[in-house]
Amino acid sequence: MPSPRARGPDPAAEPLHRHALRLLRLLRQEDAGLGVSAARLSALSVLVFGGPATLGALATAEQVSAPTMTRLAQTLEREGLVRREVDEVDARSVRLVATPAGTRLLHRGRDRRLDALSRALVSLSANERTAIIAALPALDQLVGQLQRRAAGARGDSPPRSGRRRLD
């Protein structure tokens, strides 16, 4: 019999984690042949979907060190996917902006992923699709919670105003 007061993790946590892992692992295959490495593609996606960002903010969002992001940005710039501007209020900061070519490339890749995901979605039963759609707002909330806890653990002060957070 199960031991009383086992107090393990929430039973929904494990399947949710496992399904999310496998889902992204499979969708990642769609990025092949895009001509940009995973590291650069991921950084570019933050710029395209999150708007311009400084090198430091991008490094934090991507969970890499500052020198690593410096180099990724240099390569992206050389490839014409990103443009850099010096921040007007703080001349130490470098703002990165996705170029039209960068934005197009990223949308191409994203569309491939979403097409693959869509084809799988339409093969589900109506009930299954409904269940997934019904869970989307809850997933959003869940990610928001995790985000706040992670930011809190890092000692960030909550953004009172100013620019929108990246990730």
Chain contacts with DNA (rule: CB under 7 A): 37, 39-40, 54-57, 59, 63-68, 70-73, 75, 84, 90-94
Nearer to a second copy, 93 or 103 (CB): 103
- CA 121 to CA 123: how far, in whole Å? 5
- CA 82 to CA 77: how far, in whole Å? 5
Q: Among 66, 86, 101, 120, indicate the residue that binds a second copy (CB under 8 A).
A: 120
Are 81 and 34 in contact by the 8 Å Cβ rule? The answer is: no
H helix count then E strand count, the chain:
6, 3
By a kind-dependent CB cut-off of 5 to 8 A, residue 149 interacts, out of a second copy, DNA, none, with a second copy
- The reply on whether position 137 binds a second copy by CB under 8 A is yes
CB of 108 to a second copy, least distance (A): 13
**Residues that contact a second copy, how many (by CB under 8 A):** 55
Nearest to 22 by CA among 135, 117, 133: 117
By a kind-dependent CB cut-off of 5 to 8 A, residue 134 interacts, out of a second copy, DNA, none, with a second copy
Q: What burial letters (b/e) apply to 37-58, b meaning 16+ CB within 10 Å? A: eebbbbbbbbbbebebbbbebb
* 55-84 footprint of a second copy as x/- string (CB under 8 A): --------x---------------------
Nearer to DNA, 7 or 78 (CB): 78
Ranges within 15-54 binding a second copy (CB under 8 A): 15-17, 19-29
Nearer to DNA, 57 or 105 (CB): 57
Report CA 17 to chain centroid distance, whole Å: 16
Report CA 8 to chain centroid distance, whole Å: 29
